[in-house]
Structure 1
Amino acid sequence: MSIFSLKNGQLNQVATTNFASESILERQDLQKAIQQNISVVAPNCLILAEEYAEWDSSRKRIDLLAIDQQANLVIIELKRTDSGDHMELQALRYASMISTMTLEHAVDVYRNYKHKNGDIDLTKEEALADLENFVEIELDETNFGNDVRIVLVSADFSKELTTSVIWLNERDLDITCVRMKPYKFEDNILLDIQQIIPLPEAKDYQVKAQKKAEERREKQKSIAVRDNSRYLFNGKELNKRKLVLEIIHEHIKNKGITSYRQLLEEFPQDLRKGKKLFREFNDAFTNESSRYFMNEYEVLNLEEGKFVISNQWGIGNIQSILDKADSLGYEINIINENAVIVQEVFYQDYCIQKFSNKTITILKNKVIQAPVKPILINLAREININTKNSRGNDKNTRTLGADIIEKLSEMKNV
């Protein structure tokens, strides 16, 4: 395709050029320009780093590293050549190396990137908040970087490269090729920027062709990431956020807790991974009101003042609260339509079941029993299982249940 100028009713073809002859460099010119306008090659992405090279033993560098709104990592590689110079192979190596990046590391990388670009006062907590505000999902370690996308940007691509990319995409990779072709018009350099793989107009067809593979991948993600479990506690069906609020308020009432110091002895701040579990009301109101329970009936009125509870709970950190509640003697039943029975043993009139989400359920004569913990303790004593862990504390329901299932399975096989 050619580009024409229209002047005085005349079409005049604009001459093509190349980046090398115009002394336009990859890093200093193209990369800097794309860095400031990332949406032209990778819409809905946020840059985490430029020239990323934190490998164990390599001098290779990712031109631009980004994150998309589903918390997938995005590798953006640039070439100013007319062939792409095997950049798909280079990007694949980068993808494999970057695939193990954790959310905590990504926060540090993003913070360093912002520092280098003038935001020297950005804290780690603020950097995490930036990422949480950008993505469209609840962000934690379990749903960060579950996929790696690749965006290749070049003046043009060889047939060998495009053939390779099409083949790889058919096998469920996610590689985009963006052609950035330069033209010279008078004293200006014009860029024709177009996505050529996958072709936008062919996207619907390609989606249908890959439907089975994508459905399988999405199903796996929905089980591992989009955990929609709900919880039965105090006769109420609660989501993760409301469960934490209910547990803490219930324990404060039951134990007569009146001070912040007493509260921290029962619920340490580090139960909320990456953020403070509690925060002073005024501090939260000024800085992060959307991330804490701020309604009047939710606020904790303690001797030291008003405190609020974090509402940022997901699959990556809810287990710490479940374990804590278990150790405090509270019974919580998990409702999850995706959970399946992974182990089941029978003993006397009981059926003890372990689910894929580690929930322990007990049936007696086919009737579900509650609470579970006292029954497990009695069974443990009968079959000579220690109810204490190595630190001398009571085992939680999930651990004790798993130990009992294992012991009963061994007894059955003897």
Structure 2
Amino acid sequence: MALFEMTGDSLLPIPLNTFGKLGLHERADIQRAVRAHIEAITPGVRTKVLAEEFGDWAGANRRIDLLCVDDNANLVVVELKRDEGAHMDLQALRYAAMISTMRFDQAVAAHRKYLVDVGASEDAEQAIREFLEIEDGPVAFTETVRIVLASANFSPELTTSVLWLNKQGKMDIRCVQMRPHAVDSRVLLDIQQVIPLPEAAQYQVAVREKSIEQEKARTTNRDSTRFDVTIGETFQPNLPKRRLMLSLIREAIRQGLSPERLCEEVSWRRKDLFISTPGRADEGAFQALFPGKKLRYFFAPDEMFYIDGSTYALSRAWTERTLEAADKVKHLLENPSEVSWRPTSAIEVEETYKGYVIRKRESDAIEIERDGQQVYPVIATLRELASELNVATHNDAGNPLNTRLLGARVIAAIQSQ
């Protein structure tokens, strides 16, 4: 994909360059930049760098460029190459095998060394626990080790190997292309995930199913239940407790309830349910208010609330009284009978129709994806599909079918084609 600069009513192409010609080195320049912004090569998956140039195993003479962990407790091997990433897939597979038995205490030791090397003063164990949102008790990584390969170019042999490995259903390998462009004295990077394509719906399905299985397999004592949440005609599957609360609070504020009223209802969290500051603020502005303190709040732009001239951020820290708080917020809403949640269940049926992926879970919940993204509201899309498939959207009494009943009819119609 070429880059262009808009100049008046024309487009000026920005020539593709190479890291070598720009004098950029693999470790000193590229790796350092990616280390500071790991999210650039891990789109859609929260990831934390644990160690750099990691090679703490017997007889090893090579090192992992970046050892990371994602928010599903999967260890992640990141391999970077300046130009073409020949054979980096095999190298990364060896590394993944080597760290597959890593224990939490070993990860803490590696992260402690990394923090010292980068001049950070955080407590290593606490930093990892806060990222994984496991405040106490044992921490166990999953058996899956994810791999991210980042390079300017990938050979056909490598991409074929990665596609085949991913197809086996037991690997999660991503290829991210980083292509440099020089503009005056600046270097612009065009970063694109090329394998698997972000819009690949089947890949998103695999990630979600794996996430559910991993949650069930955790050997910790904490309650890690995830929930399928329905608010009116909106269905949100597989949410952790903190995002269940975010969804309910977002709906409450949309209906006009104030943060102060919500604090009154969830009285035991009155002091820390929200933090706020006048004007429009981002995470940096909030952090400046609490120097040296690790803030555990939702700071993404679409997760904060701008109300009456102030910005509010909701707490991410939820423990044993989460469902009690959720129930209290639910009963403040205009139609609490239209709000529900239940533990996420496995996928029972999945069908594809004209670019849509329609799933029915064991709980009878219906969810729809298109181009790898959840479709909301589900009922509206089901009605469109029902019209195309000549499926009745009302029962014999003339009442409209709910999401579960209509979804089951749509799936049956697709299967009968």
TM-score by length of 1: 0.50
TM-score, length-normalised on structure 2?
0.49
Higher share of residues assigned helix: 1
> Greater Rg, structure 1 or structure 2?
1
Pick 1 or 2: higher relative contact order, CA cutoff 8 A, min separation 6.
Answer: 2
